[in-house]
Amino acid sequence: MNNKTDNPFAVLFEPMDIGPVTARNRFYQVPHCTGLGHANPQAEVALRATKAEGGWGVVCTQEVEIHPSSDLTPYLEGRLWDDADIPAHRAMTDAVHEHNSLAGIELVHNGQHAANLGTRIPPIAPSHRPVDLYHPMQARAMDKQDIKQLKQWYVDAAKRSRQAGYDIVYVYAGHNMATLMHFLLPRYNDRSDEYGGSLVNRVRLLKETLSDVRDAVGADCGIALRLAVDELLGDAGLQAHDEGSEIVSMLADIPDLWDVNISGWDNDSATARFEPDEGYQEQYTAFVKKLVKKPVVGVGRFTSPSAMVSQINRGVLDFIGAARPSIADPFLPNKILAGDIESIRECIGCNICVSSDNVVAPIRCTQNPTMGEEWRRGWHPEFSPKSKTAEQVLVVGAGPAGLESALQLSRLGHSVMLAEAGLDVGGRILNECKLPGLASYRRVRDYRQLQLSVLQNVDVLLDNKLSATDILETQIQHVFIATGSLWRHDGLGRQHPKGLAIGSAAMPVFTPDDIYAGATLPNSVLVYDDDHYYLGGVLAESLHQSGHAVTLVTPANCASAWTDHTLEQHKIQAQLLNLGINIVTAQELHSINENTVLLANVYSQQLTELDVGAVVMVTSRSPVDSVYEELAFVQLRDETKIKTLQRIGDCLAPSTVAAAVYSGHLAARELGCDKANQIYRRESVQVNFHR
């Protein structure tokens, strides 16, 4: 199927007006951060251009700071502080327009959300309030002059947006990250003038800003309002059935497009672990379409076209908004148009993409290894130039790294033998997707397995545990070893860099791999988490589900500490506590005895004794690399014809699933390449010396 009329999802491809501009379809890439921002303009342009090429009718920026008093340093968002910032934006709009898509810009003033660490301007807010993120500083209450200036900054930025060629200009009042939202909320706004108190007063600044921006952009540009309509805080915050609806009614006719969602970012970009279903925002945002005549866009991790069509047909949304689904598959709209539904690389809802922004790094994605690499490595998510020479390649191990490398190798034109010891492909995914909340992780395996199954130049050999001798006997000259890793029993990790001495009389010690293999554990279990990502917490939950009394011990100050970056930590902590799991923080394992363990406080070293029946160690992993080591030894002595011998994924360095997929993809792309070249293109900063 390749035309719109044959397509059961044709409604998704109807052109839609946004005020004076027309989107070619209903696929709308809502504003989302990339960790690239103003410091990596070429990478940003290529990323957005790829989305437009992939069929998104509207492609938006990330949040774009309108003034130095909204400075998110060290985070790399967009910037439009003055005219010097226009060319980078012009490059983005030109690239998006080349694919007949509309370009939207999300203009933000962050107020008390931005500490202005770069500009050192005291942040501003409706009322005196501490700045977000425990920065030891306060935002000062805005006076009338500040309010006037804020509106002017919006007007100036809107005019610059037009100069840069944007078709849609946003006013942003969402995610609890914007001054215009802070004004709406009584908990932040205790002003006694006409901008505080009653709802009419609290909405005034947003309304005035929208009107000013409308006047500034002229008649041939759409304006959008991104509004959080519910904060999921109950009476303590904005609620859809209460002031959320009233605000929408009050502003109904002003914007050309309503971009509505829930706040904060953790709720809007909820992980699949906590919001497993597509369209999870519908219950909060569906009312908007009943109150406004203008088109509405909303998100909900939409990856299936039938769910999208249902949103349109039931009158919930006019545009299918997507951030993460467009990251995992920039070509999602084109695949639906072509009827190639099974080739959609579905987002798994892990928020590794979000974590990039939170650790101030360029975006990455578990499912899409090309994300963020469009410019600096020249990677395209769908098309790979054929390799100059077609090689025969053996990939050993079919976890995320092996699967991705086999897939990419075959797309490059090589012929691939993929050998897997187990009875199924997927590696760690096969185990982890059975854990509570991680079912969607299976998509990492399913997408690749399905793609491989239709390729002619790949042989997948299951139940084939290869030794070094087996590999040598194949006579294949290019070998990737993707044999994964195993969790350690000895507790070696950050807190115990040399591991723990565990005597023979000690209680049983298990690893996650033992549990996957069906080990029988006693009733009372201590999970020791010195890994700090999801697995310790999720195993604690799983063991609780299977009837164990679980204590989670961690040297960190909270459970699953790193998941703060995936916006989950507080949800995980709440979940474990609500289940009755005992969380013991800031404690390391000191010793493991027959019926007790001794814990040492990581600050004071004070000891505490705990009665438990077994310990589950989630501390670090050892690569399964003995086959590689044997081959490397033979290769060193020039006793083999193997030209390429390379470890990939966890076998090289245990890490996230995203890192394993990336490692497999990179190795495939680099086969036969001259690695002496610079590893990737870098954005060069033009230096103008001012004396």
Nearest 10 degrees: CA dihedral of 564, 567, 572, 575? 150
The verdict on 295 binding ligand ADP (CB under 6 A) reads: no
- Which residues inside 278-337 make contact with ligand SF4, applying CB under 6 A? 324, 327-328
d(CA 337, CA 4): 7
Question: Using H for helix, E for strand and C for coil, what is the string for 219-283?
Answer: CCCEEEEEEEEECCCHHHCCCHHHHHHHHHHHHCCCCCEEEEEECCHHHHCCCCCCCCCCCCCHH
d(CA 269, CA 662): 23
For residues 271 and 246, is the Cβ–Cβ distance under 8 A?
A: no
Whether 353 is catalytic: no
Using the structure block, give the residue that is written with the tokens 């590794």: 352
d(CA 268, CA 284): 11
Using the structure block, give the residue that is written with the tokens 């009837």: 547
Pattern of binders to ligand ADP over 646-685, x per CB under 6 A?
A: ---xxx--------x-------------------------
Write the burial class of residue 655 (CB in 10 Å: 0-12 exposed, 13-18 middle, 19+ buried).
middle
The verdict on 625 binding ligand ADP (CB under 6 A) reads: no
Choose the one of ligand SF4, ligand ADP, none that binds residue 366, judging by a C-beta under 5 to 8 angstroms depending on kind.
ligand SF4
Whether 33 is catalytic: yes
Choose the one of ligand SF4, ligand ADP, none that binds residue 401, judging by a C-beta under 5 to 8 angstroms depending on kind.
ligand ADP
The verdict on 482 binding ligand ADP (CB under 6 A) reads: yes
Closest contact distance (angstroms) between CB of 273 and ligand ADP is 19
Is 462 or 579 the residue whose CB approaches ligand ADP more closely?
Answer: 462
Is 483 or 587 the residue whose CB approaches ligand ADP more closely?
Answer: 483
Catalytic residue among 28, 32, 33, 447: 33
Choose the one of ligand SF4, ligand ADP, none that binds residue 400, judging by a C-beta under 5 to 8 angstroms depending on kind.
ligand ADP
The verdict on 512 binding ligand ADP (CB under 6 A) reads: no
The verdict on 400 binding ligand ADP (CB under 6 A) reads: yes
Of 25, 42, 23, give the one whose Cα is nearest residue 34: 42
The verdict on 479 binding ligand ADP (CB under 6 A) reads: no
Q: In terms of DSSP H, where are the helices of 315-399?
A: 324-328, 332-337, 352-358
Whether 268 is catalytic: yes
Is 107 or 365 the residue whose CB approaches ligand SF4 more closely?
Answer: 365
For residues 536 and 491, is the Cβ–Cβ distance under 8 A?
A: no
The verdict on 347 binding ligand SF4 (CB under 6 A) reads: yes
Pattern of binders to ligand ADP over 433-472, x per CB under 6 A?
A: -------------------------------xxx------
Backbone dihedral angles phi then psi of residue 322, each to the nearest 5 degrees:
-155, 135
Of 420, 391, 389, give the one whose Cα is nearest residue 642: 391
d(CA 194, CA 206): 13
Catalytic residue among 28, 154, 170, 172: 172
Catalytic residue among 156, 256, 268, 650: 268
Choose the one of ligand ADP, ligand SF4, none that binds residue 349, judging by a C-beta under 5 to 8 angstroms depending on kind.
ligand SF4
Closest contact distance (angstroms) between CB of 474 and ligand ADP is 12
Which uninterrupted H or E stretch holds 308? Answer: helix 305-313
Query: What residues have CB less than 8 Å from 379, skipping those under 6 apart?
Result: 369, 370, 373, 665, 669
For residues 30 and 48, is the Cβ–Cβ distance under 8 A?
A: no
Choose the one of ligand ADP, ligand SF4, none that binds residue 353, judging by a C-beta under 5 to 8 angstroms depending on kind.
ligand SF4
Catalytic residue among 99, 109, 113, 175: 175
Write the burial class of residue 673 (CB in 10 Å: 0-12 exposed, 13-18 middle, 19+ buried).
exposed
Whether 680 is catalytic: no
Q: Which stretch binds ligand SF4 (CB under 6 A): 95-103, 249-257, 364-372, 546-554?
A: 364-372
The verdict on 349 binding ligand SF4 (CB under 6 A) reads: yes
The verdict on 536 binding ligand ADP (CB under 6 A) reads: no
Pattern of binders to ligand SF4 over 506-545, x per CB under 6 A?
A: ----------------------------------------
DSSP secondary structure letter of residue 169: E
d(CA 326, CA 29): 7
Phi-psi region of 429 (alpha: psi -120 to 50; beta: other; left: phi over 0): alpha
The verdict on 351 binding ligand SF4 (CB under 6 A) reads: yes
The verdict on 350 binding ligand SF4 (CB under 6 A) reads: yes
For residues 577 and 553, is the Cβ–Cβ distance under 8 A?
A: no
The verdict on 435 binding ligand SF4 (CB under 6 A) reads: no
The verdict on 36 binding ligand SF4 (CB under 6 A) reads: no
Closest contact distance (angstroms) between CB of 482 and ligand ADP is 5
- Which residues inside 402-421 make contact with ligand ADP, applying CB under 6 A? 402, 419-421
What is the contact surface with ligand ADP in residues (CB under 6 A)? 396-402, 419-422, 427-428, 464-466, 482-485, 624, 627, 649-651, 660
Residues that bind ligand SF4 (CB under 6 A): 324, 327-328, 347-353, 365-367
Q: Which residues are catalytic?
A: 33, 172, 175, 268
